[in-house]
Amino acid sequence: MALTLRSKAPDFTLNSTSGEPFTLSKSAEGKPLILYFYPKDFTPGCTRQACSFRDHFDIFRDFEIDVYGISTDTVRQHLEFKEKHALPFDLLADLDGKVSKMYDARMPFVNVSKRITYLLDSDHRIAAVYSNLFGAEQHIKNMINEIREKS
């Protein structure tokens, strides 16, 4: 299924740094959110991206939008990454890359996520999408602009 603006985001369940499994349709029912896919914890671009979401987190909170990072790293590695960088949002472990694939966020031939960010509305329809492997900080700027335009 190709993901397009206004299409329903695929439902999924992944283990989370919260200690509880995260199911899109249940854990975030009726809430807008950002799902950002990224290649790997502790790499320079992914660290910049996560820290940029952290540094702008108050903006997302002001609009009552939760943020979730998704990669193929383990929950244990996510916990270390989250703690080291004081991330105020949960990271989800897509170990087999199936969710990344559902969201057109899986790199071909390797079990690593692309850098792609989705803004979902409260009905979990895709309100905005931004994809750029090398522009880590631009993902946050783009999402903030989209949120402000839609408000």
Do 95 and 78 form a contact (C-beta atoms < 8 A)?
Answer: no
Residue 70 lies in a domain: yes
Residue the block writes with tokens 């692309």: 114
H helical segments located in 7-135 = 24-27, 44-55, 57-62, 75-84, 98-102
Residue 67 lies in a domain: yes
Do 50 and 84 form a contact (C-beta atoms < 8 A)?
Answer: no
Whether the model clears a pTM of 0.95, i.e. scores above it, the answer is no
CATH number, domain with residue 142? 3.40.30.10
Q: Consecutive sets of 10 residues in the chain, 151 residues long: mean pLDDT of each? A: 84 97 97 96 94 95 96 97 98 96 88 91 95 79 86 73
Residue 17 lies in a domain: no
Question: Which pLDDT score, from 0 to 100, does residue 112 have?
Answer: 85
Question: Which pLDDT score, from 0 to 100, does residue 2 have?
Answer: 58
Question: Which pLDDT score, from 0 to 100, does residue 115 have?
Answer: 92
Residue 63 lies in a domain: yes
Residue 50 lies in a domain: yes
Residue 144 lies in a domain: yes
66, 79, 142 from 129: Cα distances, Å: 16, 26, 9
Domain of residue 44: give its range: 29-150
Do 130 and 142 form a contact (C-beta atoms < 8 A)?
Answer: yes
Coil, strand or helix: which one is 77?
helix
Question: Which pLDDT score, from 0 to 100, does residue 151 have?
Answer: 73
Q: Which of 22, 30, 25, 20 is nearest to 9 (CA)?
A: 25
Catalytic residues: 46
Question: Which pLDDT score, from 0 to 100, does residue 131 have?
Answer: 86
Residue 38 lies in a domain: yes
Count structural domains, the chain.
1
Question: Which pLDDT score, from 0 to 100, does residue 1 have?
Answer: 46
Residue 23 lies in a domain: no
